[in-house]
Amino acid sequence: MLTIAKQLLEEIGGHGARAYPNECCGALVGVAGEDGRKEVRALLALDNRREGEAARTRFLVTADDFRWAEKQARGQGLEIVGFYHSHPDHPARPSEFDREHALPWYSYIVVRVARSESGATPQRAGQAGGKPQEVTSWVLAEDRSQFLPEEIFPPAASNKG
């Protein structure tokens, strides 16, 4: 189970909306218990290192960015417990590509972002061209065969503003 405050889920949605039609990504920073439960205490928004057209369907956190994020987390006495990314115009379910590139144990939050009804210009960076929809969290099965849904607490339904 992943505990994450409503405000942090909204921040993930906001990052996804600003990045739309590109994918956004970031690190979930928090604490983990021996029983596998994790609690997110902070987010580290990261640059999607995929560029141009590729950034609409892919995200990348480079090893250097990973090391930077880990250092930030440890500086706060916390650790990286997972990552989030957005799926513009696609369901909040991990793709086959996500699975192939995933690590066990981490929580992977996926937020679906749809085009904003206000018709904002989605091409302009930093403008909310998208509107966040459902948010889900997933953990890779130990045999790497599939992603397993992970319960979000408080439940995602009560996180909808």
Partner 1 sequence: MTARGKGDFDPMAKIIVPTPLRQYAGKQEAIELAAATVGELLTKLVTEHGELRRHLYTEEGRLRSFVNVYVNDEDIRYLQKENTAVKDSDVVSIVPSIAGGNQHREARSGFLRRRA
Contact footprint for partner 1 (CB under 8 A) = 23, 25, 32, 50, 53-54, 56-63, 65-67, 79-80, 83, 85, 87-90, 94-98, 101-106, 108, 143-144
- Residue 9 or 28: the one with the smaller Cβ distance to partner 1 is 28
- Residue 11 or 65: the one with the smaller Cβ distance to partner 1 is 65
- Residue 66 or 153: the one with the smaller Cβ distance to partner 1 is 66
| Smallest gap from residue 80 Cβ to partner 1 (A) | 7
| Smallest gap from residue 132 Cβ to partner 1 (A) | 15
Burial of 130 (0-12, 13-18, 19+ CB in 10 A): buried
User: What tokens appear for 113 in the block?
Assistant: 């972002």
Contact of 158 with 8, CB cutoff 8 Å: no
| Smallest gap from residue 88 Cβ to partner 1 (A) | 8
Burial of 131 (0-12, 13-18, 19+ CB in 10 A): middle
Length of the chain counted residue by residue: 161
| Residues 42, 45: Cα–Cα separation, whole Å | 10
- Residue 6 or 144: the one with the smaller Cβ distance to partner 1 is 144
Residues linked to residue 85 through DSSP beta bridges, in sequence order: 25, 110
| Smallest gap from residue 156 Cβ to partner 1 (A) | 20
